[in-house]
Homo-oligomer: A and B are copies of this chain.
Amino acid sequence: MVNRQIVLAARPDGLPKDSDFRLVSANVPEPKNGEVLVRAMYLSIDPVMRTRMSDVKSYAPPVEVGGLMGGGGIATVIESKYPWLSPGDVVEAPMQWQEYAVLDGARPRRIDPLPEPITAALGVLGGTGLTAYFGLLDVCQPKAGETVVVSGAAGAVGTIACQIAKIKGCRVVGIAGSDEKVKYILDECGCDAAFNYKTTADYIAKLAELCPKGIDVYFDNTGGPIADAVFGLINVGARISICGQVSQYNKAKKEMGPRFLWELIFTRAKVQGFLTMDYAARFDKARAEMAGWLRSGQLKAREDIVEGFENIPKAFIGLLEGNNIGKRIVKV
């Protein structure tokens, strides 16, 4: 059985290019006692993977050159030497970008019942949705009537964060990178206002116009000049959740930006980073709440599915360029 894998061919200089990845074939090992063999159905494509392609500190060690790229996925159990999983089970698992994986049986999470569509288990009911849920609700504690700004608002996490803020009764202002995205978050994600940062010259003026009562909560997916503008408009007691910094991931050198710590003093504002995995003990409860919002129609999940394992590098590079709306997934 041949296992196709995407490995890191070279550390990218700026935006990754096709040649930074290599499609290789490996043999699939036999599962040992306690292990399972799974076959990928869908693989998650996430911007933050870019950080592990460079030799910088990240949420996990850098991928070695020649090492396997990737993140989570949905898979089917093919063979099981782990008592609580059986062939045919559908699981969410740390697949990496490969067609097959042999995993410690404790790692995959059986998805039961299967959501409709099944890909929701990677998106709105998976890591993406949980990231929006805890990053917004736990880190920022938004209250009804407050103004919430979301950057990267048309992305996988951003679309969910906007909708959760709306469910909580906030005024939601989204920032995205195309007119199509702006239309989407206004029409489908409940944003009260939104703007295209690529066609806006003065972010501070635009935000001041769209946030007449200032900014109470900022859910930051991008960092960079958008975040700089937000820091100038935060209210007393503002909470800022640092979810991603996609504007920075392709920078070889640390970018310089205006210092803003002074703004935190007189506003008593809090800036906090988070990793979703820290909230694992509360995932089930969060998933149940999100599933309820999906059923009631308060929450919509947009997916952006690319077909074909071999198209992963292109799907990933495009994601870093912002050519997606919603959750990008590759169907294997």
Q: Is A86 an interface residue (CB 8 A)?
A: no
Q: Are A256 and B258 in contact (CB under 8 A)?
A: yes
- Supplied contacts A269-B272, A270-B271, 18 more A-B pairs, CB within 8 Å: A57-B263, A59-B265, A59-B266, A223-B259, A245-B262, A254-B258, A254-B259, A255-B258, A256-B256, A256-B258, A264-B273, A265-B274, A266-B273, A268-B273, A268-B275, A268-B278, A270-B272, A271-B272
Which residue of chain B has its CB nearest to the CB of A274? B268
Bound-complex Cα distance A137 to B227 (A): 29
Question: By the criterion of a CB under 8 Å from any partner CB, how many residues of chain A are at the interface?
Answer: 35
Bound-complex Cα distance A51 to B261 (A): 13
- Which 5 pairs, one residue from A and one from B, show the smallest C-beta to C-beta distance? A264-B273, A265-B273, A256-B256, A271-B271, A254-B258
Q: Which residues of B contact A58 (CB under 8 A)?
A: 266
Q: Which residues of B contact A146 (CB under 8 A)?
A: none
Q: Which residues of B contact A255 (CB under 8 A)?
A: 258-259
Bound-complex Cα distance A220 to B259 (A): 14
Query: Chain A binding site: helix, strand, loop or mixed by DSSP?
Result: mixed
Q: Which residues of B contact A51 (CB under 8 A)?
A: 262
Bound-complex Cα distance A268 to B270 (A): 12
Within 8 A of B (CB), among A141-170: none
Bound-complex Cα distance A267 to B257 (A): 21
Which residue of chain B has its CB nearest to the CB of A249? B262
Within 8 A of B (CB), among A258-312: 258-259, 261-275, 278
Q: Which residues of B contact A245 (CB under 8 A)?
A: 259, 261-262, 265
**A63: min CB distance to chain B, Å:** 15
Which residue of chain B has its CB nearest to the CB of A222? B261
Q: Are B266 and A271 in contact (CB under 8 A)?
A: no
Q: Which residues of B contact A278 (CB under 8 A)?
A: 268
Q: Which residues of B contact A243 (CB under 8 A)?
A: 265
Bound-complex Cα distance A255 to B261 (A): 11
Q: Which residues of B contact A244 (CB under 8 A)?
A: 265
Bound-complex Cα distance A309 to B60 (A): 58
Which residue of chain B has its CB nearest to the CB of A256? B256
Which residue of chain B has its CB nearest to the CB of A265? B273
Q: Is A196 an interface residue (CB 8 A)?
A: no
Bound-complex Cα distance A259 to B274 (A): 17
Q: Which residues of B contact A268 (CB under 8 A)?
A: 272-275, 278
Q: Is A323 an interface residue (CB 8 A)?
A: no
What are 16 sample pairs from A and B whose C-beta atoms fall under 8 A apart? A51-B262, A58-B266, A59-B265, A220-B261, A224-B259, A248-B261, A248-B262, A255-B258, A256-B256, A256-B258, A263-B273, A264-B272, A268-B274, A269-B272, A269-B273, A270-B270
Q: Is A242 an interface residue (CB 8 A)?
A: yes
